[in-house]
Amino acid sequence: MSNPSQPRDLVLLGVGHTHLHLLREWQRRPLAGIRLTCISNQPTAAYSGMLPGTLAGNYTSQEMQIDLSARCAEVGAELILAETTGLDRERRQVLLRNREPVSYDWLSIGIGSRPAEVPGIEESISIKPMQTFLSRLEQAVSAAMRDRGEAFPIRIVIVGGGAGGVEIALCLPAWLARQRALPSTGLPRYELTVVQSDLRLLGDGNPRAAAIAERILARRGHRVLLGRTAVALEQQGVVTEQAGGERQLQPADLIIWAVGAVAPRLFEQLGLARDERGFLLTNQYLQSVQDPAIFVVGDAGTCQPAPHPKAGVYAVRQGPVLWENLRRTKHGLPLSAWQPQSHFLSLLNTGDCRAILQYRGFATHARWCWWLKDYIDRRFIAKHRAGAD
């Protein structure tokens, strides 16, 4: 029988959008008799909403990052920087590489997702992990320069025409313009191509917003190849396949991988119920359908009663529900159900201090849309940094 005077342990695996909200609540009103521990394989949390703006020069790389050590120390949580290798659910322990296991009474898993892979994936640079994307991008551009020698332009292919890929395509030119790695010549310094498996950009997003994005890319001289699925990557470029099975090689000196999300490989080792794509299945209370002591949030989970797309906006909205359910679990109270919203506002940075706004059937491209996006993004990062109210 457990000692009621012994503190109980709440462990957060990953510190993304949802768990950042929990840290904020913990700072305001920590749960008595509970120790909070965070486990992350990165010392910082990167806010995905500001990555395109960082490329565009709206923010510094430091402005899009949250120092987890400082934030956890401020709220009274322990931070462990380590790679998680599995769970021992019988002993209620998180297993770590080269470290002692971490015990938990309640565990919340929020480690997000990873991009899908194809043969030759090492020939590309992935947007994730975002904490290291800019440094990897700089190295990749330098390597492309060495390989091309005096030949221009540098051929850049972005694989993935969803919101992430479109924003990278629209904001990357501003980043390239600031780099001294591409000298001025009589030839174009680079050419940019977006490869998208769907027949339009933004996948299931607003068709009007997709049309606006396509017009902007065309006006800037960038190519969009629709209905082309990347099936392999080679040193020479991207092998694409069309609906009829025809394959083509899209030449590339630099490949940026921005395709849809798949489940982290770690989930195969946890022994928890998963959906057909490998994500962890939860009930309406954000608990694992197999273990009520384990919560799953953000991209990591699939809510069995109400499946939804993988998008950061859902992770943000899950924060208050997770906090409330952990509080209720501690006191043995009925839990609150989470209901994903059917519509949400989307803002895509176009790299020119303007943004594409889409909501339901409405879409527009304007400077005021960027002002709104800038306000939302700065407000989010300010709320979760050390020193926040």
Question: Rounded to whole angstroms, how far apart are CA atoms 87 and 272?
Answer: 10
Specify the pLDDT at position 365. Answer: 98
Sorted by where each begins, the domain ranges of the chain are: 8-41+82-113+263-344, 118-259
With residues binned 3-state (H G I as helix, E B as strand, rest as coil), the percentages for the chain, rounded to 5, are 35, 30, 40
In CATH, the architecture of 118-259 is 3-Layer(bba) Sandwich (3.50)
Specify the pLDDT at position 185. Answer: 52
Question: Rounded to whole angstroms, how far apart are CA atoms 329 and 159?
Answer: 43
Specify the pLDDT at position 161. Answer: 94
3-state SS of 209-240 is HHHHHHHHHHHCCCEEEECCEEEEEECCEEEE
Under 8 Å between Cβ of 6 and 48: no
The CB density around residue 232, as the number of other CB atoms within 10 Å, is 16
The CB density around residue 368, as the number of other CB atoms within 10 Å, is 11
Specify the pLDDT at position 116. Answer: 87
Same fold? 8-41+82-113+263-344, 118-259: yes
Q: What is the pLDDT along the chain (389 residues), one digit of tens a residue?
A: 455 568 899 999 999 999 999 999 999 999 999 999 999 999 999 999 999 999 999 999 999 999 999 999 999 999 999 999 999 999 999 999 999 999 999 999 999 888 888 999 999 999 988 999 999 999 998 888 887 766 668 899 999 999 999 999 999 999 988 875 555 554 457 899 999 999 999 987 789 999 999 999 999 999 999 999 999 999 999 999 998 889 999 999 999 999 977 899 999 999 999 999 899 999 999 999 999 999 999 889 999 888 777 777 888 889 999 999 999 999 999 999 998 877 889 999 999 999 999 998 899 999 999 999 999 999 999 999 877 66
* Total count of residues recorded for the chain: 389
In CATH, the architecture of 8-41+82-113+263-344 is 3-Layer(bba) Sandwich (3.50)
Angle subtended by helix axes 207-219 and 163-178, to nearest 10: 20
